[in-house]
Structure 1
Amino acid sequence: MNQPLFLRSIIKKHLFLYKIYAISTWKNYYRSIKNHIFPALGHILLKDIKTDDVQRLYNKMAKAGLAPATIRRNHQIIHSCLNQAVKNKLLSWNPADAVKLPKLNDTPVRTMTPEEMAKFISVLENDLWGAAFLTLLGTGISLGELLALRWQDIDLKSKVLTINQALARTKSRGLIFVEPKTDKSKRTIPMPEPVAEALQKHRVQMAQIKLAAGPKYTDQDLVFCTTYGTPIHPRNFTRKFYTLREKAKVPKDINLHALRHTFATRLLEEGENLKVVQDLLGHADISTTANTYSHVSPDVKRKAAAKMDKLLTKKASSPD
Structure 2
Amino acid sequence: MVRLDSGSGHARSDRQEKGGNRMKIIIGKYEASIYPEGDGFTGAISLGFDATGKRQRVKRKGKTKAQVRDRLREAVEDLEAGIKTEVRYSVEDAVNDFLEKGLKGKAKSTIDNYRSLARKNLIPQIGAVKLKELTADHLDKWLDERAEELSTRSLRLVHQILERAIRQAQARDRVRRNVASLVIVPEGQEGHPSKAMTLEQAVKLLEALRTTAEFRLSAYVVLSLLAGIRTEEARALTWPEVDLKARTVAVYRSVRAKGDTKTKRSRRVLKLPKKAVEALRAHHRRQAAERLQAGEKWQDHDLVFCREDGTPLDRWQVRREFQKITTLAGLGEDWTPRELRHSFVSILSAHDVPVEDISDLVGHVSTHVTETVYRHEIRPALTKGAQAMDKILKRQSRSA
1:58 paired residue number:
143
| SS of equivalent residue, structure 1 residue 191 | strand
Deviations 1:41-86, CA, capped at 9 Å, x for gaps:
72347xxx65x55323212434xx4323553332121333466689
**Aligned counterparts, 1:240-255, within 5 A:** 242=324, 246=328, 250-253=330-333, 255=335
Choose the corresponding residue for 1:140, options 226, 229, 252.
229
- Change in Cα spacing, 1:204 to 1:94, as seen in structure 2 (3 Å) is closer
Matched, 1:113 2:207: no
Give the TM-score, by structure 1 length: 0.54
Matched, 1:259 2:337: no
Structure richer in strand, relative to its length: 2
- Change in Cα spacing, 1:279 to 1:236, as seen in structure 2 (3 Å) is closer
2:160 paired residue number:
76
Task: Give 1:194 shift.
Answer: 0.2
2:267 paired residue number:
188
RMSD, aligned α-carbons: 5.6
Quick one: distance in 1 between partners of 2:198 and 2:325?
Answer: 19
In percent, how many aligned pairs have the same letter? 18
**Aligned counterparts, 1:129-278, within 5 A:** 131-137=219-225, 138-142=227-231, 146=234, 149-156=237-244, 157=246, 159-162=248-251, 188-194=267-273, 198-199=276-277, 202-203=280-281, 206=284, 220=300, 221-223=302-304, 242=324, 246=328, 250-253=330-333, 255=335, 257=337, 258-263=339-344, 272=355
Bigger Rg over Cα = 2
Choose the corresponding residue for 1:3, options 64, 79, 82.
82
- Change in Cα spacing, 1:161 to 1:24, as seen in structure 2 (3 Å) is same
* Greater relative contact order, per chain length (Cα 8 Å cut-off, separation 6+): 1
2:44 paired residue number:
none
Deviations 1:237-269, CA, capped at 9 Å, x for gaps:
9668746864x5x42245362424423555787
- Change in Cα spacing, 1:78 to 1:111, as seen in structure 2 (3 Å) is same
Deviations 1:12-33, CA, capped at 9 Å, x for gaps:
6544224634464343244244
Structure richer in helix, relative to its length: 1
Choose the corresponding residue for 2:132, options 32, 43, 48.
43
**Amino acid of the structure 1 residue aligned with 2:149:** L
**Amino acid of the structure 2 residue aligned with 1:193:** L
Matched, 1:102 2:180: no
Quick one: distance in 2 between partners of 1:208 and 1:106?
Answer: 37
Quick one: distance in 1 between partners of 2:290 and 2:333?
Answer: 37
Task: Give 1:105 shift.
Answer: 1.1
Quick one: distance in 1 between partners of 2:123 and 2:362?
Answer: 34
Aligned length: 267
1:313 paired residue number:
none
1:176 paired residue number:
none
Task: Give 1:109 shift.
Answer: 2.4
**Amino acid of the structure 2 residue aligned with 1:140:** I
Give the TM-score, by structure 2 length: 0.46
Deviations 1:161-185, CA, capped at 9 Å, x for gaps:
23699xxxxxxxxxxxxx7689898
